[in-house]
Structure 1
Amino acid sequence: MDTVSCLNPGQLRGQGKEGEELCPYKNRHTKNRKTIVINCKECESESSLNDPDCRRKIFGILRKEVHADCLVLSRLYERDYEGKALESLYTLAGFRESVIGYGGMKMVTGPCTRPEKSECLGERKDFMEILVENAEYDPMKARLALSMFIQAKGLKKVPQDSLECAGCSEQFYQLLCEMLEKSPFLPNMPVKIPALQNHDFSVPAGETGCSAENLLADTSGELAPGDMQHNPTQAPAKTLKSLFQQGENGIKRRQGRGGREGRVERVGESLATNGGTNPDGSTTDVFFDYESRIKPHVRPPFSSSRIYTEAPRNTEFLECYDISSRDERDERVLEISIYRYTDRPEKLYMIRPPEYNLRPEELRLLEKVRKRMIRHRPGDLAFTDPAGARKYFRSMAREFLLEELLDGEKSVSPEELESYSDLLARYTNGLGIVEDLLSDPRVTDVYINAPADLNAVHVVLEGEECVSNVFLSQDDLDALVSRFRTISGRPFGEAVPVLELNLEDFGVRVSVIGDPLSANGLAYAFRKHARAPWTLPKLINTGSISAFSAGFLSFLMDGQASVLIAGEVGAGKTSLLSAMLLEIPQKYRILTIEDTHELPIEKLQGLGWKVQGMSSHSSVLKSGAEISPETALRAALRLGSSSLVIGEVRGPEVKVLYEAMQVGQAGNSVIGTIHGSSAENVYERIVHTLGVPPASFKATDAVIICSTIRPGGSMQKLKRVSQIAEITGSTIENPEPGELFTDIMTYDAARDSLFPGEVLEQGQSELIGKIALKWGISIDQALKNIEIRTRIKEKIAEEGKRRPDLLEAEAVSEANNIFWLLMDSMKSRDKTGFKPGFESETGKGSGTEAGIETGVKAGIETGTKSEIGSKINFTPGFETDFETDFETNFETNFETDFEADFEELYSRWEKWFENFARAYPGA
């Protein structure tokens, strides 16, 4: 009752005034997050925590809007306060509430009859009002003043003979101590003190704005007298008066209120012995630097996602590198830094886009153009074509930028204009910051877990999952899914909470799930495809396969074997499959069936392969407008003899596939991927889960297992081929999986490589025998064939360490073509006993032989003369050496040993490759 009855009416008026003078703001709610957005665009203040008026208004809004998750100061840049920073602001704003309750307490206890009562009462009330006013906008200074007042015994000295006054003063001090103890634990703040000629602080003379981090003994804002004064009996009182007399503390504003100015002055006079002034008449200013300790996350207005630009303290730097824009016209460079956490087994992936450090004039220009682009509504643009839409928006941004620059009589370089145009297109029609993450060639996957605004984006960096410094906002997530729905033409909502599509322009497969499947909001998974097809030599250099296994896989593909590639998600199944397609001779037709396009069909077609792609509906959601995999497979079987490639074997279409394989309807060979961790696991799934009869399963020739290996149990993940097993010709009707498979090659973790099994070393492989029989050669000749292929792949891989362009599909395909041409030449000679293309004793060679020789010569001449300016295959004059070698080496002794033939084949191929490598573009 005493508190209510004694409550100062002026404090109530101050609360009403605070509510009227608050900055304009709005609340933004999402499912898991409340954000306060303060509009600072029209404010004349600095929009800074170091500005007293801004602080007062921010604290007032926080006292009114409790339990927010983020505070945004929206000006030229968006400044986001969240987490510990926002918690500190709430704590500072709450200090006033902890102080204001003591304003209604009795300042003078007991029935005092002394004539000084009114003066003591006024002095103490003035102190409390001043303290409350300081707490409203500068709680750190108010708490420091309270602490110093208690330590310095700052009340007017009582008569020495008055025990009553001494007891009353002591009770008031105890009240202040209780207030100090019950006040919230304020965060530690750096203090800046201007230079004084006659100073009492331990700050070097002549320095201005020096940081005095140790002014406070603890994070509660306590004074540390020994660190800040030479004269401990004078400095607290002098500093306290200066704190209360600064223009920002409101004391001067209080002068003239009903004659109270005299009391205020007397408060200062009673606290200072020397007037609290410097020789030049200035007052001491203790300035708390809120901005340096409570730091926001700064972002441009066109991106509502948050990027933390400073690494946490619990990390250690590992490496950094730059990545350039995928557009050659844009010289935009992204800085990437990798850190390691010191308290958990995880890495931090930090990306720093340059637009987060734009100059103010650049940001104003881009924001003005962006708003024009948002208002623009093109009527003739097909947004389902991402590449076309991107080009359109980039051109529009360039046009608007030039108009704004001309109107403002400003200029930029052509490079800057392209960079600005691409930036605007990225944040209006592109993927924003996600596009930057996907542009890193070392990143293979990007995961966004719900709720996305509370969970950092995760990236898979060369097989290792890392947390990033990127937090996507709900607005960005909603914009992305709307764009994906438009591009795919597929429904997405509560009735259909899954969306899958391919973004060909980015080489990415996207999966999105939403409510009710994802109760906390939208979640995304971006899986990158290789922009350039994988090759076996490239996989050798990454350690995924050994050189011998590459030669063996090349032999299987050339031998039209039916192969299943199995492994867990992200183990490299599709990468290996695309590399193996390059080992199928170009003369054979290939049909592919995929629900999500991951195989490089267009690239293979551009290199000369006869590939026909077919699409089936998604494995997750079925749409009436899409063809089922079973129907697509039956259609493929009717398109003639060809190698059949199944993107993923997963459903009832498997029965149709194995039925076709068993009767030979599938054509040359069947290759597909399937989920499984071992050959036995693949058998169990196909036979027992998908219902394929065991006898039909034997139509499979081999099973290849891809695995992710964690060497030594570390967090690093390596993609490796861990097993290659053949299907034996067992006569058992219902064999056990262990009786059906024989390991051809197995992975040795100690040596991190694939090694041949006993069946291969002893030449007892049934699969090799099957292909040898089909080719009409012996087992020894087949093994020598594998050996030569191994040496060829190893040669390309070794040269590719110095020249990475030789590992790409263009160079590997040409090397394979020359090998097949040389093989055909050798087979024709072995068959006829005559040197191809040369006259026999009767005068003429066979038409077939002549045709082969003509083909070899034509290939050489074409590769030399027609492509010498762009993709040179031979150096000038090499074709003559090549023909001379034929004449010299095959003129006599046609019945040579096959090993010598293969050695001669490799020798000629090696000579060709060395010349090819020297003349290849970029050499």
Structure 2
Amino acid sequence: MSQNASGFSIESLLADAGLGGLFGLGSDEPDQTCSCRMRFEDRLLAVDATDCDGDLSQSTVCRQAVVEQLVDRDAGGIVVESNGREYRYDDATVSLLSAAGRFVDLLGDRDERLADAAASDPLDVAAELETRVGPVADVGVESGLLDAAAAIPDYAALAPDVGLRIADYYVDQAVTEDARLEGVTSLSTGSEARIYRRDDSVPLYALDPVDLTLSPAEREILLDAYEAIANGLVDGERAASRAIEHVTDDAVDPLLTAILAKHTSGYGVLEDLFADDRVTDVYVTSPVSANPVRVVVDGQSMTTNVHMTESGAEALASRIRRTSGRAFSRASPTVDATAGLDNGIDLRIAGITDPVAEGVAFAFREQADDQFTLPSLVANDTMSPEVAAFLSVAIERNAAALIAGTRGAGKTTLLGTLLYELTPDTRTVVIEDTPELPVKPLQSVDRDVQALRTGTGEGPEITATDALRTALRLGDGALVVGEIRGEEAQVLYEAMRVGANANAVLGTIHGDGAEEVYERVVSDLGVPPSSFGATDLVVTVQAYRTAQGRKRRLARIEEVMVSGEDIWFEPLYEIEGDQAQSTGRIDRGESRFIDRLTGPGETYADIRAAIDRRSRLLAELADDGRTSPREVAAAYAGRENV
């Protein structure tokens, strides 16, 4: 038995769609006629139920009409279309009705009563065949009817997933009886999200799309407006609202406009999912017809009730090719790109397709907020003022540092934040394959930042190695590598070792702590240990869960120690409680890195004093709420150049 997960009335939705029999809501009286119109689209059987009930779980005549279509050929899927909505039946239903069609075909004229019954009531016929022996029973086995019926307890199990005709996804509106509702969140798109806890699986993130609350009249307007855009009758930035105006004399409905824009110029259901500020990742797993969309909510993986269609996944692939200019096909089966949603959220997209996957699959991740500064990270308890001050002084004085962490730990966020600590007169070259670092915000506060885009070496792009060599010729200054993960590591470290870049060198790398980073750089990426010794600091960040949700924090700062051929690491700050605290090494005068920061006429104590002054400044900015890039840049203009 299932319960309704939707925030709106299933009864009203199905009644105004002409599918009142769905989910057991229809009349007990059998339908007398079937007016459904059917067509095959490749292996998909499309059923137009505009003038009929169309409910295959309740209407025996509609079910019989579908089975009769399947006597001569099987279907790979069944979709019922009715008044702007689509009802998609799962594999078990398709298998049952296809098997019933095969049974009728193989049975021939041997038993006319059984053939008629199998078309309208295949479950009852399967139950009868279980008690029979002989040629007719053998047909039940050969057709697959007995096996298909065994997977379906009753006709209520044939209830379909529901979607909007112009959309590329369906939602399963049933929730198992043992699921416990944890909370409901209203989204800015008008949809709702419900989270259910389940004892035998990960939590369920159930989306109640606003799309499915529309009346038949509203859906008709939406469909007509969609066709107006598809046929080129209206276009441009305001195409959605002008398309609504084009098909109706009424005032433009903001809700209809928003839904239409979501499914034309927007990214469809992704707009709803990422409207939940707790969602950081969305995964579309191939084959999409067999896998629900998954999300990461406050660091916890959840399955959703959303299923993307194969055509929807292909449409996403086409749009990514068009907007990114990057190849994505069998010849180039992977892609890394960015996208901007209508609500202003920027996404990083990783995609794969045949032959490396069974169809198209995607991972969407919300990009790091490019408005973070060190004072803002102090204000949200990512780090203490003392730790922030140490990093500020280290970067200002041209440290070579790697930001390490696992996936989603906040490496790119911290790297982007540290770029504001470079002095305004520092020339900075940023190398990335997919833009994530805050280049434009940095430029807007008078930082001299040049971005270099890398790629696979195809078309106008250059490889990361070539970009790195180019960066070294673009001016003396800081060098930033968005992610160190390949052969460019050897070029970068050689440049650091021979002093080709005398300013700050920064980058992110996957790893949890200096030891893991060392193994990755030296063992996996082939950088000689002596070259790795040019690294000053390894800064590790991590994500963790709290009662208030998922948070990030700076966990450790380790200095790289070199003596002859020996390399080891000493922690300057490490986690204690919820924040990294000083290990006392700096205060005891034991840090070789602090000693290297001293300039002409300066002492170790002068650097410690500079960190103390910077700590007070950052704490003051955090307490006052002056954390935006422009406010921080203004405050830094008057700071001591220590």
Residues 447-846 of structure 1 mapped to structure 2, 5 A cutoff = 447-504=283-340, 506-518=345-357, 520-540=358-378, 544-606=382-444, 608-618=445-455, 621-708=456-543, 719-728=552-561, 730-732=562-564, 734-735=565-566, 737-738=567-568, 741-748=569-576, 751-771=577-597, 773-774=598-599, 776-797=601-622, 806-814=626-634, 816-817=635-636, 821-823=638-640
Alpha-carbon distance between aligned partners in 2 of 1:459 and 1:423, rounded to the nearest angstrom: 22
Alpha-carbon distance between aligned partners in 1 of 2:486 and 2:181, rounded to the nearest angstrom: 47
Shift of residue 393, structure 1, vs aligned partner: 4.3
Secondary structure of the structure 2 residue equivalent to 1:493: coil
Secondary structure of the structure 2 residue equivalent to 1:370: helix
Question: Is the counterpart of residue 402 in structure 1 residue 281 in structure 2?
Answer: no
CA contact (8 A) 1:299 1:306 kept: yes
Residues 51-90 of structure 1 mapped to structure 2, 5 A cutoff = 51-61=59-69, 65-66=73-74, 68=75, 70-76=77-83, 77-83=85-91
Alpha-carbon distance between aligned partners in 2 of 1:541 and 1:467, rounded to the nearest angstrom: 33
Alpha-carbon distance between aligned partners in 1 of 2:389 and 2:501, rounded to the nearest angstrom: 25
2:446 partner letter: W
Deviations 1:333-356 (A, max 9, x none): 231222222212x22222222112
| 1:16 paired residue number | none
Deviations 1:629-651 (A, max 9, x none): 33333333333332221212234
The counterpart of 1:38, out of the listed 32, 47, 52, is 47
Secondary structure of the structure 2 residue equivalent to 1:725: strand
Secondary structure of the structure 2 residue equivalent to 1:764: coil
CA separation of 1:94/1:497 partners in 2, compared to 1, >3 Å: closer, same or farther? closer
**RMSD of aligned C-alpha atoms?**
4.0
CA contact (8 A) 1:98 1:184 kept: no
CA contact (8 A) 1:589 1:609 kept: no
Shift of residue 139, structure 1, vs aligned partner: 7.3
Alpha-carbon distance between aligned partners in 2 of 1:396 and 1:717, rounded to the nearest angstrom: 38
CA contact (8 A) 2:191 2:209 kept: yes
Shift of residue 368, structure 1, vs aligned partner: 1.3
Alpha-carbon distance between aligned partners in 2 of 1:654 and 1:94, rounded to the nearest angstrom: 61
Shift of residue 37, structure 1, vs aligned partner: 1.6
Alpha-carbon distance between aligned partners in 1 of 2:244 and 2:541, rounded to the nearest angstrom: 51
CA separation of 1:500/1:377 partners in 2, compared to 1, >3 Å: closer, same or farther? farther
The counterpart of 2:194, out of the listed 327, 331, 337, is 337
Shift of residue 725, structure 1, vs aligned partner: 1.0
CA contact (8 A) 1:498 1:512 kept: yes
1:482 partner letter: S
CA contact (8 A) 1:95 1:184 kept: no
CA contact (8 A) 1:394 1:424 kept: no
2:350 partner letter: S
CA separation of 1:64/1:570 partners in 2, compared to 1, >3 Å: closer, same or farther? same
CA separation of 1:94/1:533 partners in 2, compared to 1, >3 Å: closer, same or farther? same
CA separation of 1:811/1:84 partners in 2, compared to 1, >3 Å: closer, same or farther? farther
CA contact (8 A) 1:707 1:719 kept: yes
Secondary structure of the structure 2 residue equivalent to 1:610: coil
CA contact (8 A) 1:590 1:612 kept: yes
Question: Is the counterpart of residue 300 in structure 1 residue 161 in structure 2?
Answer: no
The counterpart of 2:228, out of the listed 348, 353, 372, is 372
Shift of residue 700, structure 1, vs aligned partner: 2.0
1:334 partner letter: S
1:611 partner letter: D
1:457 partner letter: V
1:420 partner letter: L
The counterpart of 2:39, out of the listed 26, 30, 40, is 26
Deviations 1:82-141 (A, max 9, x none): 15555676799899999999969xxxxxxxxxxxxxxxxxxxxxxxx6x98677546799
Shift of residue 472, structure 1, vs aligned partner: 1.0
CA separation of 1:318/1:89 partners in 2, compared to 1, >3 Å: closer, same or farther? farther
CA separation of 1:375/1:762 partners in 2, compared to 1, >3 Å: closer, same or farther? same
Shift of residue 476, structure 1, vs aligned partner: 0.9
Shift of residue 365, structure 1, vs aligned partner: 1.0
Question: Is the counterpart of residue 350 in structure 1 residue 206 in structure 2?
Answer: yes
2:292 partner letter: A
Shift of residue 424, structure 1, vs aligned partner: 2.4
CA separation of 1:342/1:797 partners in 2, compared to 1, >3 Å: closer, same or farther? farther
CA separation of 1:323/1:776 partners in 2, compared to 1, >3 Å: closer, same or farther? farther
Deviations 1:850-898 (A, max 9, x none): xxxxxxxxxxxxxxxxxxxxxxxxxxxxxxxxxxxxxxxxxxxxxxxxx
Deviations 1:483-536 (A, max 9, x none): 222223333322221222222565222222111111x11111222213443233
Alpha-carbon distance between aligned partners in 1 of 2:410 and 2:363, rounded to the nearest angstrom: 17
Residues 218-297 of structure 1 mapped to structure 2, 5 A cutoff = 294-297=158-161
CA contact (8 A) 1:36 1:71 kept: yes
| 2:180 paired residue number | 316
Alpha-carbon distance between aligned partners in 2 of 1:592 and 1:742, rounded to the nearest angstrom: 29
CA separation of 1:141/1:503 partners in 2, compared to 1, >3 Å: closer, same or farther? closer
Alpha-carbon distance between aligned partners in 1 of 2:242 and 2:290, rounded to the nearest angstrom: 38
2:346 partner letter: G
TM-score (norm 1): 0.57
The count of residues paired between Structure 1 and Structure 2 equals 593
| 1:420 paired residue number | 256
Q: Comparing 633-642 with 445-454, which one deviates more in the overlay?
A: 633-642
Shift of residue 51, structure 1, vs aligned partner: 4.4
Alpha-carbon distance between aligned partners in 2 of 1:634 and 1:142, rounded to the nearest angstrom: 74
Alpha-carbon distance between aligned partners in 2 of 1:622 and 1:39, rounded to the nearest angstrom: 49
CA contact (8 A) 2:349 2:364 kept: yes
CA contact (8 A) 1:562 1:670 kept: yes
Shift of residue 624, structure 1, vs aligned partner: 4.4
Secondary structure of the structure 2 residue equivalent to 1:45: coil
More helix by proportion, 1 or 2? 1
Secondary structure of the structure 1 residue equivalent to 2:507: strand
Deviations 1:642-685 (A, max 9, x none): 22212122344434433443454424311111233331333344
1:36 partner letter: L
Alpha-carbon distance between aligned partners in 1 of 2:109 and 2:312, rounded to the nearest angstrom: 44
1:521 partner letter: G
Alpha-carbon distance between aligned partners in 1 of 2:262 and 2:595, rounded to the nearest angstrom: 56
TM-score (norm 2): 0.80
CA contact (8 A) 2:279 2:297 kept: yes
1:398 partner letter: S
1:612 partner letter: V
1:678 partner letter: G
Alpha-carbon distance between aligned partners in 2 of 1:485 and 1:301, rounded to the nearest angstrom: 24
Shift of residue 563, structure 1, vs aligned partner: 1.0
1:767 partner letter: F
1:510 partner letter: I
Identity %: 30
Deviations 1:384-419 (A, max 9, x none): xxxxxxxx545233233213213xxxx13x5x2x44
